[in-house]
Amino acid sequence: MTISLLAFDADDTLWHNESYFRFTEDRFCELLAPFAEADHLGERLLATERRNVDLYGYGAKGFMLSLIETALEITEHRVPGATLAEVLRLGKEILAQPVEVLDGVVETIESLGGSHRMIVITKGDLIHQESKAARSGLAEHFELVEVVSEKDEATYRRVFERVGVAPESVCMIGNSVKSDVLPALALGSYAVHVPYEITWAMERAERPDDHPRCAAITNLRELPAALSRWT
């Protein structure tokens, strides 16, 4: 058994992401507080996002549209224009956030680059993800940064084929059991789960801890040790 290709998720695996969305959601709930309770707003927003994900895909721009739609619904279209302008401003703030690389990432990526081929597979808005990869300072370590609209078996099969590596020789590393771990395992690849401090409700799934090709670590620094179990 040889793992020759390491495929990394990006958001909340290489750099912070979800915390910006939750910060924005909290501001949104404050803005709309005169119209609805915060927990009720959170539920309504999640329902709107679930409804829209097939249309908008993942990322900050679809999130902004779902915020606006939720504001309109909650207020029965009476939300003030100034509030909608503030919602748009908050969304643009997500797009302009600096890229904060997570602890342990730089040293791990630098050390594993000598022994493995490495790529990034991420979903989200194309321009935002490309910009974050460029601004992270990490892009030079990866031979490919692939932005995809969904992370399922078919997507992973296509990307691994494109770089010419059999799924059995790939290890996918990411913070989402649903998007990074389960589809990679189903394809015959290895998977390492690195949970982030917050998991978006739509990414929650149970980790198959007894799976022989699945490992869990708490910091990317532990990745070389996790990989050595399989080689």
The residues of the shown chain that bind Mg ion, judged by CB under 5 A, are 9, 11-12, 175
Residue 226 neighbours by CB distance under 10 Å = 18
Answer whether 73's CB lies under 8 Å from 48's CB.
yes
| Coil vs helix vs strand at 215 | strand
Answer whether 218's CB lies under 8 Å from 197's CB.
no
Output 9 or 49, the one with its CB closest to Mg ion.
9
Amino acid, res. 132: K
CB of 14 to Mg ion, least distance (A): 9
CB of 83 to Mg ion, least distance (A): 30
- How far is Cα 11 from Cα 174, in angstroms, rounded to an integer? 9
Output 44 or 193, the one with its CB closest to Mg ion.
193
Cα 212 to chain centroid, rounded: 24
CB of 162 to Mg ion, least distance (A): 21
Output 84 or 217, the one with its CB closest to Mg ion.
217
| Coil vs helix vs strand at 120 | strand
Instruction: Determine the length of the chain.
Output: 231
- How far is Cα 140 from Cα 108, in angstroms, rounded to an integer? 14
Answer whether 3's CB lies under 8 Å from 171's CB.
yes
Degrees to nearest 5, angle at CA 179 with 108 and 52: 130
Output 33 or 139, the one with its CB closest to Mg ion.
139
CB of 9 to Mg ion, least distance (A): 4
CB of 215 to Mg ion, least distance (A): 17
Contacting residues for 183 by C-beta, under 8 A, at least 6 apart: 151, 152, 153, 155, 156
CB of 11 to Mg ion, least distance (A): 4
CB of 96 to Mg ion, least distance (A): 20
Output 91 or 174, the one with its CB closest to Mg ion.
174
Output 36 or 194, the one with its CB closest to Mg ion.
194
Answer whether 180's CB lies under 8 Å from 191's CB.
yes
Output 75 or 199, the one with its CB closest to Mg ion.
199
